[in-house]
């Protein structure tokens, strides 16, 4: 009798863990599948569209055309992007836009608001250029690549892009320099974007993405979600010199982190009490 009970218990345990493992494996597959589709779609579009970009290479309007197609990937994820204070981004002028960086999905959010910004380019690390065909298409679309290991060269290249701003083009950067998986605070900012803004005497427009509470890589969670993209008031650099770079960097970081915390509280408080949100990406 006791042997029979042990056998039944063993079967139950095996079944339990088999289902657990299967569920975990399925969740892991779906997690990576979502990102794979995003990368695959971008690569396929790049294969098709880069010859068209050759007609007008490095024109920022090329990027806008690609963004208008890729933004529909959002439907696969069931994500809602809510842009606030869009009139600030829509104003026709040269400016530096800085935003927090949580995931490669930030780019998808950017695609969804590109029409509002209109004339826009992005600063990306040099390594992205070698991810062909996407890197080639991005280059022809006017994306500016910098070598983060070559500090002097990177700063020089950033200063040269000020000519774009004189043509009323906005330049988007992620001053954290890497993806931040901590949904409670921002990483320290690198100074390149702010040096560039001061050198060109153009305003800095802070943009804050609310936390991606629906994504957790360690647990393979990728649920549907709502992301608020909050555009803050522009910060003027008129009259500033390179001696003001550190002060400007700290000022922008402070206002963005405050906005990030406020958005976090707003988004988390609106979730159902049983929603398994995460504070880490």
For the stretch 50-70, pLDDT in tens is: 888 999 998 889 989 999 988
Cα 250 to Cα 38: distance, rounded to the nearest angstrom: 34
Instruction: Note whether residue 9 is domain-resident.
Output: no
pLDDT at res. 273? 78
Domain count across the chain: 1
Residue that the structure tokens 């992205």 belong to: 128
What are the structure tokens assigned to 23, written together? Answer: 């569920």
Instruction: Note whether residue 277 is domain-resident.
Output: no
Which of 164, 170, 272 shows the shortest CA–CA distance to 223?
272
As a whole number, the mean pLDDT across the chain is 85
Instruction: Note whether residue 162 is domain-resident.
Output: yes
CA distances from 247 to 88, 162, 194, 200 (A): 23, 21, 10, 17
What are the structure tokens assigned to 88, written together? Answer: 């600030």
Residue 105 sits in a domain whose CATH number is: 3.40.1130.10
**Residues 70-84, buried b or exposed e (16+ Cβ, 10 A)?**
bbebbeebebebebe
Instruction: Note whether residue 243 is domain-resident.
Output: yes
Cα 86 from chain centroid (whole Å): 17
Residue 221, beta-bridge partner list: 216
DSSP code per residue over 28-67: HHHHHHHHHHHHHHHHHHHHHHHHHHTTSTT-HHHHHHHH
Instruction: Note whether residue 2 is domain-resident.
Output: no
Cα 17 to Cα 11: distance, rounded to the nearest angstrom: 10
Instruction: Note whether residue 76 is domain-resident.
Output: yes
The residue segments making up the domain with residue 250 are: 25-269
Instruction: Note whether residue 145 is domain-resident.
Output: yes
Instruction: Note whether residue 274 is domain-resident.
Output: no
Walking along the chain (281 residues) 10 residues at a time, the average pLDDT comes out as: 45 46 73 85 88 89 90 86 96 95 92 93 86 87 80 65 84 92 91 90 96 88 90 96 96 97 91 75 66
């Amino acid at each position: 009798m006791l042997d029979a009970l042990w056998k039944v218990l063993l079967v139950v345990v095996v079944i339990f863990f088999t289902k657990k493992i299967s569920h975990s494996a399925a969740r892991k597959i779906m997690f990576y599948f979502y990102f794979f589709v995003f990368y695959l779609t971008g690569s396929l579009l790049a294969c098709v569209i880069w010859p068209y970009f050759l007609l007008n290479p490095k024109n920022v309007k090329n990027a806008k055309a690609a963004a208008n197609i890729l933004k529909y990937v959002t439907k696969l994820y069931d994500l809602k992007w809510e842009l606030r204070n869009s009139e600030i981004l829509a104003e026709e002028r040269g400016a530096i836009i800085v935003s927090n960086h949580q995931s490669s999905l930030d780019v998808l959010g950017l695609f969804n608001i590109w029409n509002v910004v209109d004339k826009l380019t992005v600063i990306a690390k040099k390594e992205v250029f070698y991810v062909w065909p996407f890197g080639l298409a991005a280059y022809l679309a006017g994306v500016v690549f910098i070598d983060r290991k070559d500090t002097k060269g990177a700063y020089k290249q950033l200063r040269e892009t000020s000519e774009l701003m004189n043509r009323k083009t906005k330049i988007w950067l992620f001053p954290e320099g890497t993806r931040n998986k901590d949904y409670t605070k921002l990483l320290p900012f690198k100074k390149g974007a702010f040096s560039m803004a001061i050198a060109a005497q153009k305003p800095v427009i802070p943009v804050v993405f609310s936390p991606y509470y629906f994504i957790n890589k360690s647990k393979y969670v990728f649920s549907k979600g709502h992301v608020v993209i909050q555009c803050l008031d522009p910060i003027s650099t008129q009259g500033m010199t390179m001696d003001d770079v550190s002060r400007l960097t700290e000022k922008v970081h402070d206002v963005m982190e405050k906005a990030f915390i406020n958005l976090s509280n707003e988004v988390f408080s609106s979730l159902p009490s049983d929603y398994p949100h995460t504070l880490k990406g």
